[in-house]
């Protein structure tokens, strides 16, 4: 496996490749969720490039950029064993310059829900993903449904900027008890981890209600809020695949989303129906 740390090295490497290229952008501290994206890319492409970059521009002041888990050695092993061809691990200064040209997330869909509570977060996400797409020029890029709004905005950026890249949405990987895997789960104490299960529980309850005939968003959100009561909820929302708020559930075109703090740790989760 090639370890690349500068954009120039990555561009040179890319020129040497023939055939399809799968790309999995991550912030590292890899877990089975990341691994599922990587394995899918390895299976579906001639070459797979993984990036690990804790992107400073997508963190707001006061967020966990400094303490975000970094596990370079373990990540390297995981990628190697999974059959990754090249791992791109740049330093911040290799990616960003002074007073850059900036990409803005859409004024509406980039500033509701996650974007409302983390204003500017998606500007940073799109800025870095756009740069990475230029360097990797992937045939396919793999993103988790766990970050549903991010996935939607990346698909939108690909359309709006005429990128010839297939965005592949990947299922959410969970621990057996239902907790969605996240690099941030390491922040949770054992007691907090138990409490965090309320998030997936509320989503399961929502799905059950919908399946038993309750389609009204208000009623479903209320039932979820009752379960989430012990947590500091930021939002519970029901949207369609294009992130328009839904008054009622329609199977095949609904995503139910939760963002909540468990102690100091902010977690997000969702279910696609
Ligand atoms: P991150 O390192 O958090 O930026 O995540 C990198 C990619 O992995 C993103 O596309 C995420 O949506 C995806 N991802 C993170 N957690 C999971 C999970 N539990 N299941 C599936 N994909 C995930």
End-to-end CA, the chain: 38
- Which residue's C-alpha comes closest to atom 22 of ligand 1? 144
Q: pLDDT value at position 88? A: 99
- Ligand 1 centre from 213 Cα, in Å? 31
Contacts of 224 (CB under 8 A, 6+ apart): 202, 203, 205, 206, 236, 256, 258
Q: pLDDT value at position 114? A: 98
| Ligand 1 atom nearest 30 alpha carbon | 2
CA 57 to CA 96: how far, in whole Å? 9
- Ligand 1 centre from 214 Cα, in Å? 30
Burial class (CB in 10 A: 0-12, 13-18, 19+), 6: middle
For this structure, is 121 an active site residue?
no
Residues lining ligand 1, Cβ inside 6 A: 26-27, 33-34, 36-37, 143-144, 146-147, 170, 172-173, 180-183
List the beta strands (DSSP E) in 81-191: 86-88, 140-144, 166-170
Q: pLDDT value at position 75? A: 98
- Ligand 1 centre from 56 Cα, in Å? 17
pTM of the model: 0.98
Average pLDDT, 10 consecutive residues per value, the chain (273 residues): 98 98 98 98 99 98 97 98 98 98 98 98 98 98 98 98 98 98 98 98 98 98 98 98 98 98 98 98
Per-residue DSSP letter, 110: T
Q: Which of 34, 116, 121, 134 is catalytic?
A: 34
| Ligand 1 atom nearest 34 alpha carbon | 8
């Amino acid at each position: 496996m090639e370890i690349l740390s500068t954009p120039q090295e990555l561009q040179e490497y890319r020129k040497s490749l023939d055939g399809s290229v799968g790309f999995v952008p991550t912030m590292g501290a890899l877990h089975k969720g990341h691994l599922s994206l990587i394995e899918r890319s390895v299976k579906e492409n001639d070459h797979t490039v993984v990036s690990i970059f804790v992107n400073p521009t997508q963190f707001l002041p006061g967020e966990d950029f400094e303490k975000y888990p970094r596990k370079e050695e373990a990540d390297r092993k995981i990628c190697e064993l999974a059959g990754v061809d090249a791992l791109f691990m740049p330093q911040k200064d290799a990616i960003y310059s002074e007073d850059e040209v900036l990409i803005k997330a859409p004024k509406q869909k980039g500033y509701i829900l996650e974007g409302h509570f983390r204003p500017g977060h998606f500007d940073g996400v799109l800025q870095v993903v756009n740069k990475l797409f230029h360097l990797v020029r992937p045939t396919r890029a793999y993103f988790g449904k766990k970050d549903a709004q991010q996935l939607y905005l990346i698909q939108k950026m690909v359309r709006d900027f005429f990128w010839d890249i297939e965005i592949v949405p990947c299922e959410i990987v969970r621990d057996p008890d239902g907790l969605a895997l996240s690099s941030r789960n390491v922040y949770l104490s054992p007691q907090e981890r138990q409490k965090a299960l309320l998030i997936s529980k509320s989503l399961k309850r929502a799905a059950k209600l919908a399946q038993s005939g309750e389609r009204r968003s208000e009623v479903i959100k209320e039932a979820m809020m009752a379960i989430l009561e012990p947590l500091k909820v930021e939002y519970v929302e029901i949207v369609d695949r294009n992130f328009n708020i839904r008054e009622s559930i329609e199977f095949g075109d609904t995503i139910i989303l939760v963002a909540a703090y468990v102690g100091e740790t902010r977690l997000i989760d969702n279910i696609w129906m």
